Amino acid sequence: MRASAFLLVILFILVIPFRPFRPALWVTPILAQQPKVAVTGTVADTSGGVLPDAAVEAIAAGQTVATATTGPDGQYRIELAAGTPHQLRVRRAGFGDQTLELHTAAGDMTRDIVMGIAAVSDSVVVTASRMRESRAAATESLSVFTAEDIAALGSHSLADILRQAPALNVESTGREGSATSLFARGGESDYNLVLIDGVRVNASGGQFDFGRISGGEIERVEVVRGAQSALYGSDAIGSVVQIFTKRAGPGDPPRAAGSIEGGTFNTWRGDLSILGGARRMVDYHAGVTYRGSDGAFGDVLPEKDRFDEPAFNGGAGFTLGGRAIVRTGFRYSNGRSRAVGPIVYGSRDTGTTYETKDRSWHLDYTQRLTSQLSHTANVAYFRSESLSADTIADTRYDVYAVLTGRPGAIFPDNTQLVRLVTQAEYNALNAGAQRLGAGEFLATTAFGVSDFPFSSRNQFRRPAFRYQADVTWNETQVLSGGYEYERETNPLNAAFLVENHAYFVQQQFKVEDRWFVTVGARINDNSRFGTEAMPKLSVGGFPVQFRAGPISSVKVFTNIGRGIKNPNFFELFGGGSVDGNSNLHPERARTIDAGAELTFDSQRWLGRVTYFDNRYDAQVAFRSSGPSGDGRPDYLNIDGSKAQGLELEWALQRAWLGVIASGSYSLVDTKVVAFVSTSEQFQPGQPLLRRPRHAATARLTYVRGRAALNFDMRYTGKRHDSSFLFMSSPQFPGRPIDIGVNPTYALFGIGGDVRVHDDLTVYLRIDNLTDEKYESALGYPGLPRAVMVGGRFSIGR
């Protein structure tokens, strides 16, 4: 019913005559015209040849305020407000973006621009340094996913997008909308800082559900791997994931855009956005998204497994006097589903609820004071509520299994499921009436798997303020510094109050536009955890700059950083049958990576190799029996773990016979180095849970005319996991046993789309093409084959 109502709303909006948005009269004083001067010049390459069709943008306070295109003679003309500092950015396919500082005087000016050959895949990124920079100049380990990538993959959530990045392992507990975690380069699931339009949206201690952001909201995703606490503070010790929602520019015409699709398991998804600009001074956007599904396992579950998630995102930006811009935005989402448990092992849990509500808001002010000095102030607010509950005590069930391997051994020699059996089969095998295979043994849940009613409600609030000033000196060197404040509370527990004051500085050096160094540090003064220092150093450059030829570029880079991750609310205060530990210290990380990126055949092919070495100390581990003598479990800091590995990436960047392709392979070797064994799953020498040693992805797109065919593959190798069944075996009396090996799987997807009209593209997508049976986490089956049919539209552009 919710899906049908949502689709009717979209159709109703689309049949209303679409009229251009006119800014309200109250905006008129803000948009008062200033005296104009003309800036003219010629755009040429390094040989002196003129470049027609180059796009010239004038930027003030981070906002595009005017544009022009060079003519056949390479000349451009652009009119700008007099007496105002601007940046001129020039772009043309096959050449690197060129930017120059410009302070308009009272009269007309001339500025000629020379462009060099650039990376085919070059673009502007912001997450690696918290400033706009060329991706080619960024020395961090960075992945970028555009709206075109998301559409080609058929990604319905943030989790689906991130699965294509190297060394990012994404695991969920079932179908769409189930709890989903990200493990970056072997780090823990709460080692990832997540930003939506610049607002930090992690809950207490870095917790975040990557399955609860719809792909329909997302315009672009940037992922930086490695410790980034020097820039972002706590939680950013494994990766930073920044999501940019859909937005227009002030020069864009008003339009409506969106998509609608439906398919297997009564799954419906849709989004609609109204966005545009006005008078090159105002931009606005408002969008709604919805996704819902009945789940894939209704044939075995006793009650419906419905998931629904509507979301809203809106905002606007205003340019003030050509020097400053004010931008604000608001986002709301509400995900509602159940938590069905490990149904592979027989769970048929009823009466469960898993609901999340997130709200975020931001107000940004950016001003360019002079051609060398700019500053930004930001106020943000994040509020989340979650409810996880089970209102029914279901009948206890038993698990009977045939296993192989050695209980308590180090992966991959630990226990692996051969097959589940019935109680009658178990008894026959145990009595010797039937024979076990070589190396096999029996195991069962001796006292059954019980289900206890519970209700866990959490609320979280985080107001924040940030100020940053940027000074450009010696033309290309940038010094940044500032202050950040956050206040975290849980209204349900007055004892949880954490205030953090942070001071940061960063210097970016550029030498001959080919060598780059970024050095920075951050000091956190935390009301609960004290003072911490977090440095970072990034170095890289081009021994061989972009050029035509068999080897068309060589780039090298290395990064080292230190970071922290504060304990979460539950670890500090506990709940239910678990004690908290208010004396916990922050977890710490030291990460190093180094690599090289090469392009071949005039940049047709790209190859990248990165080695990383991470050390995690003072990690928080669960302890089954605390020191208080009450027998209740709690948490403690232990020595930690390490992760080393390789990331290999390749791409066919320029189409060959209509084909472009890319792929990656990751080797992630994790190991617990703690001296204290807190469980069979976390003991010295054991790999970390749910981090596959080997993983790979591949993508291929074939385009012909108005049609495109997309193919993708994702391979996940064998990994250490746990069923958490706490079984026993007659062959190993007195020893607790869990299934500890999750087998290898490979998933394939295929899709095609046809642009039937300039404003409409229809598509078909098949996920898990071979209907592979697999478990993302032990006991939780992955989605079977699914077929989706839909369309993407845009009206008014």
Q: What is the DSSP secondary-structure string of 469-530?
A: EEEEETTTEEEEEEEEEEEEEETTEEEEEEEEEEEEEEEEEEETTTEEEEEEEEEEEETTTE
**What average pLDDT score do residues 593-614 get?**
96
Same domain as 191, residue 44: no
Whether the per-residue pLDDT at 133 is higher than 90: the answer is: no
The number of angstroms, rounded, from the C-alpha of 33 to the middle of its chain's C-alpha atoms is 41
% of the chain beyond a pLDDT of 90: 65
Is residue 95 included in any domain, yes or no? yes
Indicate the residue among 414, 445, 471 that finishes a domain: 471
Q: Tabulate helix, strand, coil % of the chain (nearest 5).
A: 10, 55, 35
3-state secondary structure of 150: helix
Q: Examine the pLDDT at 574 and tell me if it is beyond 90.
A: no
By the 10 Å C-beta count (0-12 exposed, 13-18 middle, 19+ buried), 17 is classed as: exposed
pLDDT of amino acid 680:
67
Cα–Cα distance, 776 to 768 (Å, whole number): 13
Q: What percent of the chain has pLDDT over 70?
A: 92
Q: How far is CA 192 from CA 153, 184, 234, 674, in A?
A: 23, 8, 9, 22
Q: Count of alpha carbons within 13 Å of 189, Cβ hemisphere only?
A: 19
Q: Is 446 exposed, middle or buried (0-12, 13-18, 19+ CB in 10 A)?
A: exposed
Mean pLDDT of 580-601: 92
- How would you classify the pairing of strands 36-45 and 113-115? parallel
Q: Indicate the pLDDT class of residue 3, thresholds 50, 70 and 90.
A: very low
In this predicted model, what pLDDT tens digit does every residue of 7-60 receive, in sequence order? 434 333 333 333 333 433 333 343 345 688 889 999 987 667 788 888 898 887
Secondary structure, 3-state, 767-787 = ECCCCCCCEEECCEECCCCEE
Q: What pLDDT was estimated at residue 260?
A: 97
Residue 485 has pLDDT above 50, yes or no: yes
Question: Which residue type does 230 have?
Answer: A
Together in a domain, 292 and 369 = yes
At 573 the pLDDT is 83
Higher pLDDT, 771 or 204: 771
CATH code, 172: 2.170.130.10
Distance between CA atoms of residues 701 and 710, nearest Å: 5
314 to 23, 197, 248, 361: CA distances (angstroms): 16, 11, 11, 10
Same domain, 94 and 157: no
- For residue 85, count CB atoms less than 10 angstroms from its CB and return exposed for 0-12, middle for 13-18, buried for 19 or more: buried
CB 327 within 8 A of CB 376: no
What is the count of structural domains for the chain? 3
Using DSSP's 3-state secondary structure scheme, residue 2 falls into helix
Which of 186-190, 233-237, 308-312, 528-532 is predicted most confidently? 308-312
Q: Which one-letter amino acid corresponds to residue 577?
A: S
Which of the listed ranges 109-118, 318-327, 657-666 does the model predict with the highest average pLDDT? 657-666
CA 88 to chain centroid: 31
Q: Which residue has the higher pLDDT, 223 or 638?
A: 223
Eight-class DSSP state of 755: E
Amino acid letter for position 95:
F
Q: What is the dihedral of CA 30, 31, 34, 36, to 10 degrees?
A: 150
The conformation of residue 572, written as its DSSP 8-state character, comes to H
Residues 41 and 152 grouped into a single domain: no
Answer yes or no: is 290 within a domain. Answer: yes
Same domain, 237 and 357: no
Residue 543 lies in a domain: no
Judged by average pLDDT, the poorest of 46-55, 370-379, 399-408, 675-684 is 675-684
Split at pLDDT 50, 70, 90, the class of 579 is confident
Confidence at residue 676, expressed as pLDDT on a 0 to 100 scale: 64
The residue with greater pLDDT, 577 or 770, is: 770
172 shares its domain with 102: no
Mean pLDDT of the chain: 88
pLDDT above 90 for 290: yes
Residue 215 to residue 710: CA distance in whole angstroms: 17
Same-domain status, 286 and 377: yes
229: CB partners within 8 A, 6+ apart: 236, 237, 522, 534, 536, 561, 562, 563, 564, 589
User: Alpha helices of 105-193 — where are they, by DSSP H?
Assistant: 147-153, 158-162
Note the pLDDT tens digit of each residue in 522-550. Answer: 999 999 999 999 999 999 999 999 888 99
Q: Are residues 19 and 167 in the same domain?
A: no
Give which of 498, 571, 576, 562 is closest to 533, Cα–Cα: 562
Mean pLDDT of 241-264: 93
Q: Is residue 499 part of a domain?
A: no
Residue 543 host element (H or E): strand 530-544
The first and second tokens of residue 456, run together, are 């866990």
99 forms beta bridges with 89
Q: What is the pLDDT of residues 135-157, one digit of tens each?
A: 888 999 999 999 989 988 888 99
Dihedral of the alpha carbons of 72, 73, 75, 77, in degrees to the nearest 10: -60
Confidence band (pLDDT; 50, 70, 90) for 64? confident
Distance CA 378, CA 62 (A): 14
Instruction: Say how far apart CA 260 and CA 290 lie, in whole Å.
Output: 9
Looking at 68, 98, 116, the residue that finishes a domain is 116
- Tell me, yes or no, whether 680 lies in a domain: no
Query: Token pair 């943000």 is at which residue?
Result: 380
Q: Is residue 132 very low, low, confident or very high in pLDDT (cuts 50, 70, 90)?
A: confident
Any idea which of 3-7, 460-464, 704-708 has the lowest mean pLDDT? 3-7
Instruction: Supply φ then ψ for residue 6, to 5 degrees.
Output: -65, -45
DSSP assignment of 358-399 equals EEEEEEEEEEE-SSSEEEEEEEEEEEEEEEEEE---PPPB--
Report yes or no on 312 lying in a domain. yes
Identify whether residues 90 and 169 lie together within a single domain.
no
**Of 140-144, 370-374, 378-382, 757-761, which gets the smallest average pLDDT?**
370-374
- 465/501 Cα distance (integer angstroms): 10
Closest listed residue to residue 161, CA positions, set 260, 242, 229, 272: 242
The strand pair at 192-196 and 239-245 is best described as parallel
Picking from 214, 245, 276, the residue at the C-terminal end of a domain is 245
Global model pTM greater than 0.85: yes
Q: What is the CATH number of the domain that holds 89?
A: 2.60.40.10
Contact between residue 329 and residue 296 where contact means Cβ atoms under 8 Å apart: no
CA end-to-end span of the chain: 32
* Residue 415 located in a structural domain: no
**Pick from 763, 643, 654: nearest CA to 167:** 643
Domain that holds residue 280: 1-32+265-389+455-471
Please say whether the dihedral angle defined by the alpha carbons of residues 278, 280, 286 and 289, taken in this order, is positive or negative: positive
Mark whether 160 and 89 lie in a shared domain: no
274 and 347 co-located in one domain: yes
Residues comprising the chain, all counted:
797
Burial (CB count within 10 angstroms: exposed 0-12, middle 13-18, buried 19+), residue 630: exposed
Residue 12: what pLDDT? 37
Give yes or no: residues 314 and 378 share one domain.
Answer: yes
Residue 584 is assigned to a structural domain of this protein: no
| Interatomic CA distance for residues 208 and 198, integer angstroms | 16
The mean pLDDT value for 727-733 works out to 93
Average confidence (pLDDT) over 715-735: 93
Instruction: Give the model's pLDDT for residue 96.
Output: 66
Q: Which of 698, 638, 646 has its CA nearest to residue 667? A: 646
pLDDT at 118 over 80: no
Point out the least confidently predicted range of 94-103, 119-128, 693-702.
Answer: 94-103
Average pLDDT over residues 734-740: 91
Residues 6+ apart with CB under 8 A from 27: 278, 281, 282, 318
pLDDT of residue 45: 77
Contacts of 663 (CB under 8 A, 6+ apart): 649, 650, 651, 696, 697, 698, 699
* 215: three-class secondary structure by DSSP: helix
